[in-house]
Amino acid sequence: MDKSTIKPPPNLSAATKRWFAHIATTYELESHHLRLLELAGRSWDRAEQARKVLKREGVVTIDRYGQTKAHPCINIERDSQLRFARLIRELNLDEDQPGPRPPRIGGRE
C-alpha cells in the first residue's frame, strides 16, 4: 500500500491522528489493518471523551429516586479501553511479542 496515500481518518482527534499516521508509516499495513487501526483510534478517543466527562461530573450520579449510582461514562470508558486494547492486540504491533505481525517498513525488524 502506498504510504503517501494513507491519511488519518477525519473523525479522530488531533493527537490520535498523529498516532495513526505514526503507526501507518512505521508498519506495512494492509487495508484491513488500517480499518482496525481506525477503530482503535476511535475507541481511544471515545475513552478519552468519557474520561473528561467523569473528571467534570464525577464518578457517581444521583438517579431519579435520589440514590447514588455509577456514572454511565464509567462503562463507556471501560468498554472503549477494552476495545482499544483488543484491537491493538489484534494488530500485534508489540515488537517483543512472539508471533506474526505487520513488518516494519524498510525491514527494520
C-alpha 41/C-alpha 88 separation (Å) is 10
Confidence of residue 3 (pLDDT cuts 50, 70, 90): low
Summarize pLDDT for 87-107 with one digit per residue, the tens. 999 998 876 655 556 666 565
Q: Model pTM? A: 0.81
Total of domains in the chain: 1
Summarize pLDDT for 47-80 with one digit per residue, the tens. 999 999 999 999 999 999 999 999 999 999 999 9
Q: Which domain holds residue 46?
A: 3-93
Quick check: is 79 in a domain? yes
C-alpha 21/C-alpha 75 separation (Å) is 29
Quick check: is 19 in a domain? yes
Of the candidates 54, 21, 63, the one whose C-alpha atom is nearest the C-alpha of residue 38 is 21
